[in-house]
Structure 1
Amino acid sequence: MSNAPATSSTELNIGVPFSFEVYPPRNPDLREALNKTILELAATGPDFISVTYGAGGSSRDATLDCVKFILANTDVEPMAHLTCVAESYQGANELVRTFLDAGVRSFLALRGDPPEGTQEGEDFLGDLGSAAELTQLIHRVQAEREPFVFEEEPRWHAGATRLSQKREFVRIGVAAFPNGHPQSRSKTQDIDVLLAKEAAGANLAITQLFFHADDYLSFAQKAKEAGLTMPIIPGIMPVISPGRLRRMIEISGEEMPSDLEIALEIEPTTEGQREIGVEHAVSLAKELIAGGAPGIHLYAFNQSGPVVDVLRRLQ
């Protein structure tokens, strides 16, 4: 990892850690624009930048390239998304090892969504059936790859070392669903699944999109009462156009936030819509931080401007 960022630092402080999510562009011509965005995001001082992963490995190489760019050109930890979709056990094992060998020590383990065109009831998963199984695999690969380390032992003499089974820490995040996963029977089941992910070795959860602070605060409190100990980071996206809002609702399955929808629809200018989206995200983040959220995860949509504006207004 580079010892100095490749862009001037404009580190921001909002009182809690923050992070970003980007996605590899499908068009290689957009790679340079994404690299510029990554540098601008890295300059704000995030805890990590996560990089999404296409279903069935459709963006595997692009994800790895993006992660390598973050490692080589910033001081920020990249978080690589991995999914179970159409992945064999051997293929997943090799993929995890590839990322570890590249220097990645943070992952987001996801079951993954059905590829487009999947029929209802059709099996779209591979040998791994859940995010919990993928979490266990990541830990297992790391253990096999690094069975022990040398630790300094100054009690013996200067420069002395000893073998230790302690390994380099690997951060494994998983998804959380404050308003319920589309396929879950109840919010209780969602919390039970989250507990199973933690038992498998997950040490961080990041929520899917939601639009009201109480959705997250209520869910986080119930999870804590159920025995969950890992932090749950709320995911926020500045929704700066009606089209983007409709797209996010389609992807997430959330209920349409009518107040935000109306505000965006009646605002005639692009600049005005952008301001509405940023202010909505700022207000939501303020409520979450005041309610005890341990951090903020911002879905950047590969644009630095709106998310950086959110952070600046939270300072």
Structure 2
Amino acid sequence: MTQATDPACTTRVPFSFELYPPRSDAAASALHATIDRLAAAGPEFISVTYGANGSSRGSSLEVLKYILAATAVEPMAHLTCVGSSHTEANRLIREFLDAGIRNFLAIRGDPPAGVLETEPFLGDLKSAGELVQLIHRVQAERVPYQESVIPGLPQARSVKTEREKVRIAVAAFPNGHPSSRSTSQDIDTLLAKQAAGANLAVTQLFFHADHYLSFIQRAREAGVEFPILPGIMPVTSPTRLRRILELSGEELPSELSIQLEVEPTDEGQREIGTLHAVRLGNELLAGGAPGLHLYAFNQHETVLSVLEGCGVLGAQNRTPTLSHPAFANTVKESV
């Protein structure tokens, strides 16, 4: 497949991936191979989803541990509020921190089908902002301290604490969350997450660059300061597109939908979806996006093709660096 490279994508561009936990031993083995290929590309982080109410707790943690042990890439753990008490959430956060995880994506999560917003099952944490605060609090409680003798005062001791840095990302919705009344409400929510201590955001998927760029302009004007990564999901089949729209509530991208429907081969559909994602990525980077976050569907070929089409897989992008200027000041000491 021939892909155009946009000049805006030729400098060091941060990127990241999202994966989900495997559902079988065979899938786990295949996922490890995918992680190895994705890690070799030099992402800033690889995030791993976490099922609502702890449905994938063990398998998510195993994937995160594999990323820590087998790669040089930072893993990012998804955490959700729905269905958790303060005690349960505290225990889970501590478990991830004890495993060496220092990057989190804090999400409120949707209630299960048939469960109303007012039902007690939803748990103690009512918002992603509260989860952000709890992560910071639990991390701060784990801060180690060291005692040392003060020269000339053998009976005195100085205590030095070393705060570990954590990155806490949150979700952003360029076209509005399905349950919100307006995009301005979503920006207010993003401001609340920032005030709670979030230092990065990743968007829900969208299909047009203008949706992201106009959202960013409004967010900046409102006072949102942290980087907001655009989430790109290559749509490689009509079935996948329908499922995405069902889950996200996004409007049907008619041109892409028609192209996928009339193309009879799987290979042709993959090329259509990849080229659409390449064009979207190029437009976003040209518009000033601080990087790209790709939903990988636990496969490496398509997302790496997208990055190659955007020209961001050169030698300058092979080494991940969490100190990249686009992410400057996003990793703070916990408070």
Q: Distance in 2 between matches of 1:261 and 1:168?
A: 46
Aligned counterpart, 1:75: 72
Within the candidate set 307, 317, 334, 1:311 is matched to: 307
The one-letter code matched in structure 1 to 2:205 is L
The SS at the match of 2:165 is coil
The one-letter code matched in structure 2 to 1:199 is A
The one-letter code matched in structure 1 to 2:42 is G
Residues 94 and 265 of structure 1: CA distance in aligned 2, closer, same or farther (over 3 Å): same
Q: Distance in 2 between matches of 1:276 and 1:143?
A: 47
Within the candidate set 88, 93, 96, 1:96 is matched to: 93
Q: Tell me how far 1:216 sits from its aligned partner.
A: 0.3
CA contact (8 A) 1:148 1:167 kept: no
1:275-309 CA distance string (max 9 Å, x none): 00000000000000000000100000001000000
Say how many residue pairs are matched.
295
Aligned counterpart, 1:66: 63
Aligned counterpart, 2:205: 209
Within the candidate set 94, 110, 113, 1:113 is matched to: 110
Q: Distance in 2 between matches of 1:65 and 1:24?
A: 8
The SS at the match of 2:122 is coil
Question: What is the TM-score when the length of structure 1 is the normalising length?
Answer: 0.90
Q: Distance in 1 between matches of 2:308 and 2:121?
A: 42
Of stretches 54-63 and 114-123 in structure 1, the one that deviates more from structure 2 is: 114-123
The one-letter code matched in structure 1 to 2:264 is P
Aligned counterpart, 1:169: 165
Of stretches 268-277 and 14-23 in structure 1, the one that deviates more from structure 2 is: 14-23
1:276 paired with 2:266, answer: no
CA contact (8 A) 1:14 1:311 kept: no
CA contact (8 A) 1:14 1:314 kept: no
Q: Distance in 1 between matches of 2:70 and 2:59?
A: 16
Aligned counterpart, 1:22: 19
Q: Tell me how far 1:114 sits from its aligned partner.
A: 1.5
The SS at the match of 1:170 is strand
Q: Distance in 1 between matches of 2:19 and 2:248?
A: 17
Residues 1-315 of structure 1: pairs in structure 2 closer than 5 A: 15-119=12-116, 122-146=119-143, 148=145, 163-165=159-161, 167-315=163-311
Give the % identical residues: 66
Q: Tell me how far 1:27 sits from its aligned partner.
A: 2.6
Question: What is the TM-score when the length of structure 2 is the normalising length?
Answer: 0.84
The SS at the match of 1:116 is coil
1:9-62 CA distance string (max 9 Å, x none): xxx976320000000022333110111111110010000000000011000001
Q: Tell me how far 1:312 sits from its aligned partner.
A: 1.0
CA contact (8 A) 1:173 1:203 kept: yes
Q: Which runs of 5+ in 1 are unaligned?
A: 1-11, 152-160
CA contact (8 A) 2:46 2:73 kept: yes
1:226-263 CA distance string (max 9 Å, x none): 01100000000110000001101111110010010000
Q: Distance in 2 between matches of 1:249 and 1:233?
A: 20
Q: Distance in 2 between matches of 1:264 and 1:206?
A: 27
CA contact (8 A) 2:294 2:303 kept: yes
The SS at the match of 1:206 is strand
The one-letter code matched in structure 2 to 1:241 is S
Q: Distance in 2 between matches of 1:145 and 1:25?
A: 30
